[in-house]
Amino acid sequence: MKEWVVIHKIKAMYDEGKEASIKEIRRSLNISKNTVRKYLRIDEQEIQESLESPERSKLLDRYRGFLLRLLRKYPGLKTPKAFRKLKAKVPEIDVSERTLRRYLSSLKPLAAAAQQRYYEPVIDEVPGVQCQVDGGELREVQIGGLSKTVYFLVFVLSYSRLMFVSYSLKPLDTDIFIQMHEEAFRYFDGIPEECVYDQTKLVVIKEMFREVTFNDRFYHYASQIGMDMRVCKGYDPESKGKVEAGVKYVKGDCLYGDSFTNFPDLQRHARSWLDDVANARIHGTTGEVPRVVYDNREQDKMKSFITIDMPAEQSTRKADKTGLISFKANKYSVPMAYQRSTVLVEVKVDQLWIFDALEHTEIARHTIVLGTGHIIKNTDHYRDEQTGKAYRSPQ
């Protein structure tokens, strides 16, 4: 404020060169002539914005991760569009477009130099932008009197900390992974702009020379619903610490110490835990209730959720001379007419469907078994359809 008073005095004393000279102003205010010249060269509006910029920059620092994300995703983004995007997410922000332009100019070198491989900013200051996703498993869960391993996927919205957890008795494959995302977005009743993952094979197939090859099927799903995927370093608390804490929370609080009559009973218990405990508690970091924050400040910033019908994924298998095909380290029978032939296989829920490779007609169906080394046969596959006699494979 003192500096602003001095500037006003300089402007008033000089009065467009009609009153005091630069030398007289310098002597009167006990400042250097270079300072006098500096403030005489620019108008009062620019001076005011210049003086305000440290405060405004601090305000924009809060949204640095969001702005960096915009610049990395859209390198040619102009300030007016960036300004509208920021205001859409944070309507109450009090900065001018000119201040944002200066701030973006300082970020552009960082955005250009950053490696696209790793995701760095944790965007917890802007609602509806980021969800962190991570998986876990808990062994020896008592279900129906048996000890089973339960696999789960945790979703945590970075802004509100609203959590969702999806469970499976089978190790996660791409279809289950997609289904779990559908369940999460249905629970949130919305889709975030991006999800952050570690280097799980369900998202990243391989990485070479910092180039990432995504899982095609999941990439297609994410593209269809308009969701960006971000991959971070594993075990990096700066990238996805919220969800890693969530995985520990699920293991230690939701399932541990309880037994269940069956899997639907476990799912009911887990949903009740989400609604009555995890999302209803006062969060230790934010000091607010996740469900209340989400309902009041985040849900209307999420994208609309629309279920996508993904085409089933089919692959080929070659039947051996005994009429068996291999699938996930087990063997399943096909009719004798398809011995030594190529067939198509497709997973539907817990069933393995087998099709004629040319006509795409169903020729067999088996319930998928867990474990390895099993042989699953349909005895009808080894009978001659015309004679009804058992068929012996050629030696």
Q: What is the DSSP string of 98-140?
A: HHHHHHHHHHHHHHHHS-SSS------SSTTSEEEEEEEEEEE
295-329 confidence digits (pLDDT tens): 999 999 999 887 666 556 678 899 999 999 999 88
The letter for the amino acid at 317 is: R
Q: Which domains does the chain have, with CATH numbers?
A: 2-113 (no CATH), 130-301 (3.30.420.10), 314-382 (no CATH)
Q: Burial level of 220, CB count in 10 A (0-12/13-18/19+)?
A: middle
Cβ contact 298:157 at 8 Å: yes
**Least confident among 123-127, 209-213, 300-304:** 209-213
**Least confident among 91-95, 178-182, 371-375, 384-388:** 384-388
Residue 5 confidence (pLDDT) above 80? no
- Compute the mean pLDDT over every residue in the chain, rounded to the nearest whole number: 80
* Sign of the Cα pseudo-torsion (307, 368, 154, 115, in order): negative
**Least confident among 10-14, 263-267, 277-281, 367-371:** 10-14
Structure tokens at 108: 């552009």
Cβ contact 141:150 at 8 Å: yes
Nearest to 263 by CA among 182, 146, 356: 146
376: which DSSP letter? Answer: E
- The reported pLDDT for the residue numbered 280 is 95
CA distances from 353 to 65, 303, 322, 336, 345 (A): 46, 35, 19, 16, 6
Residue 219 confidence (pLDDT) above 80? yes
Helices of type H across 114-253: 174-188, 216-225, 237-249
Cβ contact 125:133 at 8 Å: no
Q: Give the residue-averaged pLDDT of 162-171.
A: 93
CA distances from 241 to 28, 77, 184, 197, 251 (A): 58, 30, 19, 11, 16
User: Reduced to 3 states, what is the DSSP secondary structure of residue 312?
Assistant: coil
- The reported pLDDT for the residue numbered 159 is 92
**Least confident among 94-108, 131-145, 240-254, 266-280:** 240-254
Q: Burial level of 322, CB count in 10 A (0-12/13-18/19+)?
A: middle
Model confidence, pTM: 0.61
More confident residue, 189 or 10: 189
Residue 120 confidence (pLDDT) above 80? no
Q: Give the residue-averaged pLDDT of 166-192.
A: 91
* pLDDT band, very low/low/confident/very high, at 203 (cuts 50, 70, 90): confident
Residue 110 confidence (pLDDT) above 50? yes
Cβ contact 392:386 at 8 Å: no
Structure tokens at 174: 């791409």
* pLDDT band, very low/low/confident/very high, at 30 (cuts 50, 70, 90): confident
* pLDDT band, very low/low/confident/very high, at 209 (cuts 50, 70, 90): very low
More confident residue, 148 or 42: 148
260-273 confidence digits (pLDDT tens): 999 989 999 999 99
Neighbours of 10 (CB within 10 A): 23
The letter for the amino acid at 197 is: Y
What CA dihedral angle connects 74, 75, 80 and 82, to 10 degrees? 50
Residue 118 confidence (pLDDT) above 50? no
Q: Give the residue-averaged pLDDT of 76-83.
A: 87
Residue 148 confidence (pLDDT) above 70? yes
Give Cβ neighbours of residue 162 (< 8 Å, ≥ 6 apart).
156, 188, 279, 290, 291, 293, 294, 298
